Structures are given as C-alpha cells and as structure tokens.
Amino acid sequence: MSFESCGVLPKVVSDLEEARVELKESGAVIFDSIECTEAGTRAFAETLFADTLRALPEGARVFEGGEHDITRVQATNLKTTPCHTDGFAYGDLYPDYMLLSCVQESSVGGESILVDGYKVLQALAQDDELAWAATALRERQIDQTETGMQTSLSPICMDNGSGRTMVRRTLEQRPAEDSIDPAKDQQMIDLWRDSVDQASKLAPQFKLMPGQVVIVDNYRLMHGRSPYEDLSRMLWRVWVWSDDCLGVPDLPLASDTRYAVARG
C-alpha cells in the first residue's frame, strides 16, 4: 500500500476567490501576501470566510517553547512535529480551519508538512487486508480526550452531521474505558497513526515566507513541521469555526489550549 499521493503541496495564490476554490478542492492554500500580525491574520480570516464565519478567536504565537499551549512542553525545534489535528483540546468541537501566517522563517529547516486524511482513509479502504480498519475508524468510539481538557469519546473519522467527514490524529488517542475489544481498538489506532506517519514521510515539504499565510482544512488535513535551527522563527496561528463545523464550544475560545481545560 502506498501513501505517496496523500501529501499536499498547497498552491500559492493572491486572489481571494481563487483561494476559496483551492481550499475547498485541495484542503489547503497559501495566500501571498498579508500583514502577518495577530490582528492582520485575523482580519484576513474574517475577509476570507466572510459570512460563513461562526467564531474567530484571538490568535496565538507559534515559536520555540510555545506560549499558552500546555502540551508545547513536549515540542522542540530539534525534532519533527508529527502530523496532527489542531485544537483537539476542545474535544469533538475542534476548529474546522486553521491559519498559520509567517512573521519569521528559519533559514535552515522548519518546512511544513500536510497529509490528506481523506486519502489515507481511502488507501486503507482499498487494501484488502486493511479495509476493516477503514470501516472501524468510522464506527469504533475511542477516547480522544487531551489530558485535562474537554472530553471526547468518538470515532477517529466521524461525520459533522451535514456530510462533511472529520478525521483526527492526536497525541493521546486510546481505547475507551468501556471498549468491548480494547486490543482491536488499539490495533486500529496504531494502524491509523502509522499510516499518517508514513504519508508524512513521503509528503512534499514547503516553507512559508514572511507575508504568507497557509489556510488548512483542519477536518481533512493533518499538519506537521520539520526540525529547524533559527530560534527566532515565529508564526501566528488562528483557529476558525465556520458555519460548516460540527459546533462551536460553549467556552471562551482562543487559538490555543488556554481556555479548553475541563471544569470540575
């Protein structure tokens, strides 16, 4: 089974309507150029999503060591960040889009990686020995709760209620406590994680430059980055909930985990 076609190299555009079309078709697009500040990134998101916007929280800086993200202590510029879904601290109501705007790139390393989860799921479904997993990923409820955050007991691949598939790869997916077959569930989780990792190794890499912003369908694509050297590398991350999302959390929102902590 090959995952070579699962990587995504986003097209660079400078027209808003072209960006909307490309985002819908490919799951990601790079816009060149915008004002890459917190306010500028949010203003661009507001323009891009227009009347489809349901929630646009405060942005978050992305740099070595992190800021408000609790799990950032696990990250380092010296290691590849595995391809993952953003915002899973909010449980099933994670944001359906993500923007990363570049303030300062690293001259060495720091390339971004995008994997199309729909294509990974399709590859599994087309493999006679692994097709069971493609079905199980849509049916078996597992525990996807980030420690201390909003509870999520749901399939890895689920429907948003209006025909849009949501795929998720997080750092803490595990069998649910009441699983009737935890060993099988763990096998499914491991297969999904390994498949995404294989796809990410084969995916084309690209580097955002100052003034550029990448917009990513966070229900469809998973993103990561390669190691980098320049510790002044910095981006702004903005999460978006559109009118096509599963729902907006009834919580304070930010583009990081600061407000997603589970309340007693």
Q: Is residue 76 part of a domain?
A: yes
pLDDT of residue 2: 82
Q: Which of 78, 29, 15, 14 is nearest to 221 (CA)?
A: 29
Q: How far is CA 259 from CA 41, 43, 136, in A?
A: 21, 22, 32
pLDDT of residue 72: 47
Q: Is residue 249 part of a domain?
A: no
Q: Is residue 223 part of a domain?
A: yes
Q: Tell me the per-residue pLDDT of 110-123, one tens digit each, with 9 for 90 and over.
A: 999 999 999 999 99
How many Cβ atoms are within 10 Å of 67's Cβ, its own excluded?
A: 11
pLDDT of residue 73: 46
Q: Is residue 220 part of a domain?
A: yes
Measured in residues, the chain has a length of 264
Q: With a cut of 70, list the residues of the chain below it in pLDDT.
A: 1, 64-75, 78, 264
Q: Give the CATH number, domain containing residue 122.
A: 3.60.130.10
Whole-angstrom distance, CA of residue 31 vs CA of residue 89: 27
Q: Tell me the per-residue pLDDT of 191-208, one tens digit each, with 9 for 90 and over.
A: 999 999 999 999 999 999
Count structural domains, the chain: 1
Q: Is residue 44 part of a domain?
A: yes
Range of the domain at 215: 4-242
pLDDT of residue 105: 94
Q: Is residue 250 part of a domain?
A: no
Both tokens of residue 229? 């050297």
Q: Is residue 207 part of a domain?
A: yes
The residue behind tokens 């294509």 is: 119
Whole-angstrom distance, CA of residue 186 vs CA of residue 164: 25
